[in-house]
Amino acid sequence: MCTIVSGEGLLAKDANGKSDPYCKMTILSRKHQGSQQVRQKNIADWLKTGLVRDALQTTARPETLTPVWNEHFELSIKDPKDDLLVIEIWDSDEDQVGVTKIKGLRGFGNFIADLRKGVDDFMGRAFYLLSTIPSKGERKSLDLYSHSAKTKWGSVMIDLRIRGLREGLSSAEALAEHLRLTRAVVDSESKVKGHYVRRWNAQLRPNAHLLLDLHAECCGLNKLQQVGVLLNVLLDYHKSYAVQISTFCDLIAHIKSSRHVLPERVLEGKSDRDHPLWVSSLFADVHELGSYIFDVMKDHLLVFDLKTPQGVRRIESHLMALREMFSFQTFTKKLNQKYKSLGKALETSIMSAVTKAFTFLNGKAEPLRNDPEDRLRAFKGLIQHWLHQTQRILKDIVPLFKEVGVDYITWYFRALDPLLCSEATWLERYRAADEESHTVTFELYLSMRDIANLTEHVKDETVRAELKIRNYHLWFSPMVANWISRAQSLCRQYIDKAIQIDKVIQVTDEATFSSSAVDTKGFLLQVGNFWKHLQWPRAAESYSYTAAIVQHICDCAVYYAGQVYTRVTNEDIYKDGQFHASEKLCIILNNMCHLQQALEGLSETLELEKYYQWLEEQDAQTENSSEKVAAIARSLISNLLKNADEDIGNKISLTVQNISEKVNLERFFQDMLRSDKDSVDEETVVPLLDYLTHNLQTLGDFLLPQVLYRVLANFWATCVHTIAACIPNIPKKPGNNYIPR
């Protein structure tokens, strides 16, 4: 429906300074707009050549430049996407001679022009693209231009409305026709290079939207009916190729915003028998969508890849669609008849998804169950999968379900716990076949422990206490001794290899070490960090395991010190004859001291103080306990560290003592004391000073300060003892300068 309302600022074409304007209008295909025929000719010429099918015209308004018509016309639109409404304003020249007044030469010229009866004057033209008409229509002022489109000749006001031309259709027929059109549009829009798009976002192009809006308006369909038809078509498409759930979420939101057009009895939730057919169809489609989404959610751990942001967003879209449906009270009443509530339905979906995913993954490992070692490795892979999955769920999925009021992690563990524990029971009967299997079982233990620790996110204390996986350690109790034994064996192999490829390196500015000492210290600290993760949950066994670990590390440190100490003898570092200090000897002493320092830092590495505090907390929770585990552990572990420190210290002391014994200063002192000269001369003193200077210089250059101090102290004690031993043997003859000597 087009209403020609009025004109403004039109050209004066008559001799009296006025015009007698009227409008012509037609529908022109946009593809002809730039043609020469359109630019240079008018609507009347287009009719003659068949460029347009028909044209309509208003009545003429006499002697005015601001005409008011308010005349209504119906125009047939063939292609809403490309059709143009063309409006031309003309000046009517019929019956103008009798009213023309001649005024001077100019008036005479106008009079001569008026004699050309029947030739109307062109006053401007405007184009309007019909695809831009809003579905509710609009009133718009169009500027009039000359044929060249360079000069503005006023304006014309029009009012455009989409009027249904299918007035004979029943409501059911109109919906059926719109359904066919929507299917055709979706079929066209969803193809790329002739193939249907999978997981289509259902984004229609503007012209497609306009076509559907115009058709719905023509058929007398309201917005809710139109959205319902689109929902029905997209559901069918979804069954074959999938539509992004966010699209359905948007449609549900549109339905909610348009609920005011629903009949009152529908909003009141009365019987379905009272609903119009299109409402029943809409409800059925929404219920079908809800059922589909719930079915997907029952498999969401298999359907969606939680390692990717896309997978997380897809879960979010499904949840948001469900929330939109359940937030619309009219739908909620129907949905609750089947699902009771959104929360209950999602809780069921979570448990179903966990069970299905576990069964699927466990089934893939079924062929490996005949061999115990293969089964062990397959089970380790399964546990590590669920550990990583749980971590991802806590990070990305739990917050999404929290927004819809569902405690995901509680229902997740309620489903996972019996499944994992049922599979893990065979570990109680498992016995490792080789050394490598001990490593696998320990890695499995760490993964199970990490999963058990994640159960702390279960807020319900009763549910959390009932989870059997929190007693995961019981499956591994027989294996701990083997783990420690295996670790000790590997450590000794490592130490032997480090000593075998030993080389001198400069670690600090203070002293020089060999690579074996540096590597062994670093390795033992790594071992300490590794065992720190054992975290055995029961205090009664935990402290004995921790003590065994400390014993293991201490034994390795003492073993290294023993191996290094043995080299002092085996490599003839103490040669027979006069002793001379060497760099090799200094490095051996430094190496043992380096390992002693490693033991001093073991308490910090193992976080023993923090561990003792935990034991004290466990003691406080234990009733009728005659002995406190924390005190026992502290005493036992302290003694282990002390004994190892003393053992290494003794080896250092023995080496220093051997140096002192090999120095053999007695010969120098005897020569000095036996001299007949009145004072100590160069012949007896210089050799002693040279010998001491050479050895002390070497020791000072290469020894750690703390070791050097021990050597010097030992030197001094040796000197004193040697002199004391020599004095009784000095001859006391007259004339002999006994006292000075």
Is 81 part of any domain? yes
Look up residue 449 and give its two tokens: 């422990």
pLDDT tens-place string over residues 440-494 = 888 999 999 999 999 999 999 999 999 999 999 988 888 888 888 888 888 888 8
Tell me the C-alpha to C-alpha distance, in Å, between residue 280 and each of 217, 249, 482, 642, 736: 22, 20, 69, 84, 135
Q: How far is the first Cα of the chain from the last one, in angstroms, to the nearest whole number?
A: 138
Q: Which of 135, 160, 185 delimits the end of a domain?
A: 160
Nearest Cα to 100, choosing from 85, 115, 81, 122?
Answer: 115
Least confident of 105-114, 122-131, 282-291: 105-114
> What's the pLDDT band for 388 if we cut at 50, 70, 90?
very high
CA distance 314 to 726: 95
Q: How confident is the model at residue 99, as a pLDDT?
A: 36
Rounded mean pLDDT of 318-338? 73
Last residue of a domain, one of 125, 160, 195: 160
Say if CB 296 and CB 314 are below 8 A apart: no
Element (H, E) at 570: helix 539-570
- Evaluate whether residue 348 is within a structural domain: no
Q: What is the pLDDT of residue 588?
A: 84
- Is there a single domain that holds both residue 135 and residue 278? no
Same domain for 695 and 712, yes or no, is: yes
397-415 pLDDT tens trace: 999 999 999 999 999 999 9
The reply to whether 190 falls in a domain is yes
Given pLDDT bands bounded at 50, 70 and 90, which one contains residue 109? very low
Q: In this structure, are 598 and 712 located in the same domain?
A: no
Q: Is the predicted pLDDT of residue 2 greater than 80, yes or no?
A: yes
For the chain, percent of residues with pLDDT exceeding 90: 29
Instruction: Indicate which CATH number applies to the domain containing 105.
Output: 2.60.40.150
Could you read off the pLDDT of 477-489 as tens digits, one per residue? 888 888 888 888 8
Using CA atoms, how far apart are residues 144 and 9, in angstroms rounded to an integer?
A: 10
- Please tell me the distance from the alpha carbon of residue 83 to that of residue 77, in angstroms, as a whole number: 7
Q: Measure the CA–CA gap between 154 and 90, rounded to whole angstroms.
A: 12
d(CA 335, CA 252): 14
Looking at the predicted structure, is the pLDDT value of residue 424 above 80? yes
| Torsions phi, psi for 598 (to 5 deg) | -60, -40
| 351 is a domain residue | no
CA 680 – CA 677 distance, rounded (Å): 7
Q: What is the CATH number of the domain that holds 631?
A: 1.10.357.50
Q: Which of 140, 160, 180 is the last residue of a domain?
A: 160
Per-residue pLDDT tens over the stretch 514-559 = 888 888 888 888 888 778 788 888 888 888 889 988 998 899 899 9
Q: In this predicted structure, what is the pLDDT of residue 180?
A: 92
Domain count, the chain: 5
User: Same domain, yes or no, for 515 and 542?
Assistant: yes
**pLDDT in the model for residue 339:** 67
Nearest to 286 by CA among 261, 253, 260, 237: 253
Note the pLDDT of residue 735. Answer: 53
Instruction: Say whether pLDDT at 282 is over 80.
Output: yes
Please tell me the distance from the alpha carbon of residue 270 to that of residue 279, in angstroms, as a whole number.
12
Closest by alpha carbon to 741, among 665, 667, 671? 671
Stretch among 23-27, 162-166, 652-656, 709-713 having the lowest mean pLDDT = 162-166
| pLDDT value of position 462 | 93
43 plus 110 within the same structural domain? yes
Instruction: Decide if 232 is inside a domain.
Output: yes
Average pLDDT of the chain, as a whole number: 82
CA–CA distance from 623 to each of 510, 611, 614, 616, 685 (Å)? 54, 20, 16, 13, 75
Are 191 and 330 members of one domain? yes
- Kindly state the average pLDDT of the residues 184-210: 89
Q: Is residue 401 part of a domain?
A: no
83 strand-pairing partners: 29
Nearest to 58 by CA among 123, 130, 103, 110: 123
Q: Are residues 311 and 235 in the same domain?
A: yes
Question: Is residue 449 a contact partner of residue 387, using CB atoms and an 8 Å limit?
Answer: no
Q: Which domain holds residue 467?
A: 417-473
In the predicted structure, residue 211 carries a pLDDT above the cut 90 = no
Mean pLDDT is lowest, of 14-23, 165-174, 288-297, 728-737, for 728-737
Could you tell me the pLDDT band of residue 101, with boundaries at 50, 70 and 90?
very low
Confidence of residue 306 (pLDDT cuts 50, 70, 90): very high
- Mind giving me the DSSP string for 626-660? SS-HHHHHHHHHHHHHHHHHHHHHHHHHHHHHHHH
- 252 or 730, which is more confident? 252
Does 569 reside within a domain? yes
Looking at the fold, whether 650 and 706 belong to one and the same domain comes out as: no
Domain co-membership, 217 together with 333: yes
Judge if 330 and 426 occupy the same domain. Answer: no
Q: Are residues 575 and 652 in the same domain?
A: yes
Identify the band that residue 254 occupies on the pLDDT scale cut at 50, 70 and 90. confident
Residue 397 lies in a domain: no
Average pLDDT over residues 700-714: 84
Residue 419 has a pLDDT of: 93
| 656, 508: one domain | yes
